[in-house]
């Protein structure tokens, strides 16, 4: 099992450009999550999908959109990138929205917006 995979690993954008971060899991998990990690702030939830067909906002959704393409895939889109979106982005998955099981994380995408 590959677990949770993310592409790309690194990306540099200019202000105003758009891009989509891809995430896929092969563990048959129902719930998927997008976080951003900034120094001293821990992980902050951007959007999540409790189950296939649903998406909801997290703590910091502004400037982002998501698509739960199918059970395996959950993408994060930046429509018009801003320097404040420079961060490391992590995708995660869990068996189910109320499961007591842990979340599994991908390796991250390091994004720089100039």
Q: Which residues bind other proteins (CB under 8 A)?
A: 4, 31, 33, 35, 40-45, 48, 50, 56, 58, 90, 92, 97-98, 100, 102-108
Phi, psi angles (nearest 5°) of residue 7: -140, 145
When the beta carbons of 19 and 50 are compared against other proteins, the nearer one is: 50
When the beta carbons of 38 and 79 are compared against other proteins, the nearer one is: 38
When the beta carbons of 83 and 97 are compared against other proteins, the nearer one is: 97
Distance (Å, whole) CA 18 – CA 31: 25
Other Cβ atoms less than 10 A from the Cβ of 46: the count is: 23
């Amino acid at each position: 099992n590959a677990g949770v995979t993310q592409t790309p690993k690194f990306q540099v954008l200019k202000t105003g450009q758009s891009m989509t971060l891809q995430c896929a899991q092969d563990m048959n998990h129902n719930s998927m999550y997008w976080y951003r990690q900034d120094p001293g702030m821990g992980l902050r939830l951007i959007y999540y999908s409790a189950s296939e067909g649903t998406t909801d906002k997290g703590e910091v959704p502004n400037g982002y959109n998501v698509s739960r393409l199918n059970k395996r895939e959950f993408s994060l889109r930046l429509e018009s990138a801003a320097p404040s979106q420079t961060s490391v982005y992590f995708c995660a998955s869990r068996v189910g929205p109320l499961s007591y099981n842990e979340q599994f994380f991908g390796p991250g995408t390091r994004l720089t917006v100039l």
